[in-house]
């Protein structure tokens, strides 16, 4: 009983780093739970697990890809003052996969994340991108921490792909983010980073 309580508490503490000072998730206002076509030239890659879609009307949608967590790249505005090992490789991999795409589809979840980003699975040439990057060893699966988000089949595919790929050569990204937030705080106190707005 004591061990189970400690495990649950540890999991809760680890996950807190992802949602500090964020609003609770909200309802998705766009059509969800069905695959929709995305023009390939409308996709902009932010990092290994986040992309932006610039729709025809100029509307921009930021998508946090479900089922995965990739190594971080530097984002001072998010208190990540340094690249995580393999962060640039994960981003380059994502860019190259989408650059070769003949077709892209988005499967939105019914909710958005605490930062207002669309949560969804992205399909490239009919393949679940989360599975592709997991098999490449450039992501960890996030289903175990966050559940299936209403997509049990896609979530199971991610868990299976992560098991098949084996251990990754980098620190779990959520632990890296937590560590970098502490580093950023120290750097800000020492005047090495600008104060937060």
- Which residues are marked as active site? 64, 72, 117
Query: Please, are residues 71 and 134 in contact by the beta-carbon 8 Å criterion?
Result: no
φ, ψ dihedrals at 152, nearest 5°: -60, -35
Which residues share a beta bridge with 53?
A: 43, 61
Dig out the tokens for 84 from the structure.
């995580």
Angle at 52 between CA 164 and CA 85, to 5 degrees: 45
Distance between CA atoms of 9 and 36, rounded to whole angstroms? 39
């Amino acid at each position: 009983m004591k061990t189970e309580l400690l495990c649950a508490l540890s999991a809760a503490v680890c996950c807190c780093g992802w949602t500090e000072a964020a609003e609770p998730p909200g309802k998705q206002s766009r059509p969800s739970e069905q695959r929709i076509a995305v023009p390939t030239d409308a996709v902009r890659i932010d990092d290994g697990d986040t992309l932006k879609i610039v729709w025809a009307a100029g509307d921009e949608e930021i998508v946090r890809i479900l089922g995965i967590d990739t190594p971080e790249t530097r984002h001072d505005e998010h208190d990540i003052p340094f690249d995580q090992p393999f962060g640039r490789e994960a981003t380059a991999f994502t860019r190259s996969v989408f650059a070769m795409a003949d077709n892209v589809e988005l499967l939105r979840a019914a909710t958005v994340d605490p930062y207002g980003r669309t949560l969804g699975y992205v399909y490239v040439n009919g393949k679940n991108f989360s599975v592709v990057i997991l098999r490449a060893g450039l992501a960890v699966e996030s289903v175990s921490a966050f559940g299936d988000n209403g997509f049990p089949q896609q979530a199971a595919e991610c868990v299976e792909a992560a098991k098949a790929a084996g251990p990754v050569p980098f620190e779990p990204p959520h632990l890296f983010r937590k560590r970098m937030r502490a580093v950023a705080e120290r750097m800000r106190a020492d005047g090495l980073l600008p104060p937060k707005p």
